[in-house]
Amino acid sequence: MTDSVITETIHYTAAGIAMKSYLARPDDGAKHPAVMVLPEWWGLDDYPKRRAEQLAEAGYIALATDLYGEGKIASAPDEAAGLMQALLADSEQLLARVSAAADYLRSYPLTVSAPISAMGYCLGGAVALTMARNGMDLAAAISFHGNLAAESPAQPGEVKARLLVCHGNDDAMVDDTQVSNFKAEMDAAGAHYEFIGYDGAQHGFTNPAADERRERYGVPLGYNKSADTDSWSRLLSLLSEVYS
């Protein structure tokens, strides 16, 4: 993080749950477009916070968004899976949490009036797509190595956001059927989307901690620097386009 970025911990509630997110913004006092950064199943650890800081350096107000409550972080895959499954089992609670975060970000004094965007990693990527599928008012929704399956598929005309999906073609957690079903769903819904598949990239390809977690926990993760670099460049290009 550079001296040109200000960060702060943000507290708000969602359906009676105390939420603790992390906001990063340019230190210039000016108004900027805003982006939600939705975390992996590990929760609000340093990774989504660092991505929020990178977005602030690029000229955006970014909210690394708490999905579990109280900024909770999982210490192992079993705990992360339990937290994720509980979150996804209650779609109303999930939408309440992301809606509360979106409302906070929209009302932030330095947020421009244009719609916010949502981006996420793994679980967060799936959540960003869920927001878009539910017709939330987003300029863009971006998924990095996220689950693509839909509990409630997008209906024609419902997806308002521009979509970018960055997928690892060697992702053992998101199979080819999910990919083809997602594309068919978005085509049927008339969504404006771009799907990028990276050969040799596994699940978690944007996170430098993926290799260490693969070795420690025996889960099929892997960092891929070229896919990470290219996907981040595509994200910035899309944001620049929708906010131009």
By the 8 A CB rule, do 144 and 39 touch? no
- State residue 1's pLDDT score: 60
Which of 226, 183, 176, 234 is CA-nearest to residue 205? 226
Pairing verdict, β 117-121 and 17-26: unpaired
Instruction: Walk across the sheet containing 34-38 and list its strands.
Output: 5-14, 17-26, 61-64, 34-38, 117-121, 140-144, 162-168, 193-198
In order, the DSSP letters of 196-235 are EEETT--BTTT-TTHHHHHHHH--SB---HHHHHHHHHHH
pTM, full prediction: 0.96
Q: Which residues contact 128 (CB under 8 A, 6 or more apart)?
A: 36, 38, 118, 119, 120, 141, 142, 143, 146
CATH architecture of 5-242: 3-Layer(aba) Sandwich (3.40)
The C-alpha atoms of residue 145 and residue 132 are separated, in whole angstroms, by: 16
SS3 state at 59: coil
The C-alpha atoms of residue 137 and residue 22 are separated, in whole angstroms, by: 22
Residue bearing tokens 């460049």: 233
**pLDDT truncated to tens, each residue of the chain (244 aa)?**
667 999 999 999 999 999 999 999 999 999 999 999 999 999 999 999 999 999 999 999 999 999 999 999 999 999 999 999 999 999 999 999 999 999 999 999 999 999 999 999 999 999 999 999 999 999 999 999 999 999 889 999 999 999 999 999 999 999 999 999 999 999 999 999 999 999 999 999 999 999 999 999 999 999 999 999 999 999 999 999 999 9
Q: Where are the domains of the chain?
A: 5-242
SS3 state at 109: coil
CA-to-CA separations, 88 to 40, 81, 92, 210, in angstroms, rounded: 13, 10, 9, 23
